[in-house]
Structure 1
């Protein structure tokens, strides 16, 4: 396989999607809508939560995806990092449950996320949100779909009519400069991005510290739907680095990218003047 889609690539995408659907069933068995999960939970060394559902999904996907492409390395939120990935052309990037806190608290906004990187570029992506009845898929050059139906980001060109999601402090700072429609919090970062891809919202802000597994699959869905994800000053997002951590990120439909970036620059200029 190369970075360009090959005839077998759609078959691989279907196999990955089916694997994510099965993985979702593992999590759903322990999910309680509107209530605390039935899964055992604990805290990782950094204090972030993890559940037995995260581990179960991670283990299932590692076995299944390794069979689909044995030569690909592995990067997952719930697996000890292996530097072997830095020397491999292909890398699976997995978040078994993006939005673990939402899952634990009974919110439907969590997702199983799988991306395949080729030389650091996402070429296949699946974001499966079982509790939302939504499965997003994308193949490089093949467009993006939700539940098998092609999706596209919005065509809005003005922030005044835009629905924007993100951390409240960032939205509050932007609101001092621009009029827009803030949306309810979306706990899963991947879902925040794919909902820009399907036009549910128009843009999203991401605070620093997102990891490759949070965004890689959704990034491809967004770009194939006509949207864009960049760093806070417009720089490209780079995957599979030694430390797979990102700074501030900005996501939007392509038509909103320039006005949003301009507003963010004015926001930064105002903050620097107050220092």
Structure 2
């Protein structure tokens, strides 16, 4: 299946409409429940999830969907094509009411992410990319703004997780302090999009993540000229039997800023 700009536009609109549903709940009262993995889930997660799945099925009835909020259908392993969604990436940030949450929709072909949309409704920003056609941002000031990573090797702006700070993070910052100008912690796929747009230069994440956390932002980073790999330098692949990446990952502007495996071939 060959995707077109029309596909990208339609999928972006689904993400934006899902974001509007999130914003309806954002300022209301809602119950916060705890899932088996001890992560929070709200009415917003489930409402957005149901909407995205319904709309994708209208357009692509034969393509399976892997979602953080839906039971995994392992029949997906028999297919080359797959949608991977996170209907509310950054639930903790949503609950904290700091705006740093997103809707993530990715399309995967033969285990590679080839289309991604990351929509941040509270910030009124949308990042999107289609393989071979570049990466773009919509915001309040401009539409279809082509984005690209920086070429900086010093005075780097590092971003990291607000909710998953680890000893590995602290060690990485300490060992590369001379190259780092600022270190900002925030939630969701926004961090990868900040690298893609040049707002940040380096993003490292240690520990467990799901395919839905990375698939959309990966293609955005790569189409913006950045490098996105597992923390050990291996290519990130999707539609695996185990949808969790136990190793972590990085998104960087230049290969010289790969600090965990500096000798990796790109």
> TM-score w.r.t. structure 1 length?
0.87
Find 1:102's aligned residue among 87, 93, 109: 93
Name the counterpart of 2:121. Answer: 130
Bigger Rg, structure 1 or 2 = 1
**Unaligned 5+ runs, structure 2:** 139-143
Contact 1:71 1:90 in 2 (8 A): no
Contact 1:171 1:182 in 2 (8 A): no
After superposition, give the CA deviation of every residue in 1:12-38 in whole Å (9 maximum; x if it has no partner): 111111111111111001113xxxx62
* Structure-2 change in CA distance of 1:184 and 1:84 (3 Å): same
Residue 137 of structure 1, CA deviation: 0.8
Let me know the Cα RMSD of the aligned residues. 1.4
Query: Aligned residues, how many?
Result: 250
Name the counterpart of 1:25. Answer: 20
Residue 121 of structure 1, CA deviation: 1.1
After superposition, give the CA deviation of every residue in 1:11-69 in whole Å (9 maximum; x if it has no partner): 0111111111111111001113xxxx622220111110000010000000001001111
Distance in 1 between the 2:168 and 2:196 partners?
Answer: 21
Contact 1:72 1:89 in 2 (8 A): no
1:186 aligns with 2:177: no
Q: What does 1:116-265 align with in structure 2 at a 5 Å threshold?
A: 116-147=107-138, 148-156=144-152, 158=153, 160-166=154-160, 167=165, 169-178=167-176, 179=178, 180-188=180-188, 190-246=189-245, 247-253=247-253, 255=254, 257-258=255-256, 260-261=257-258, 263-265=259-261
1:61 aligns with 2:55: no
Contact 2:125 2:137 in 1 (8 A): yes
If each structure's strand is expressed as a fraction of its own residues, which one has the higher value?
A: 2
1:86 aligns with 2:77: yes
Contact 1:98 1:214 in 2 (8 A): yes
After superposition, give the CA deviation of every residue in 1:194-250 in whole Å (9 maximum; x if it has no partner): 110000100101112111000100001000000111112211001110001111211
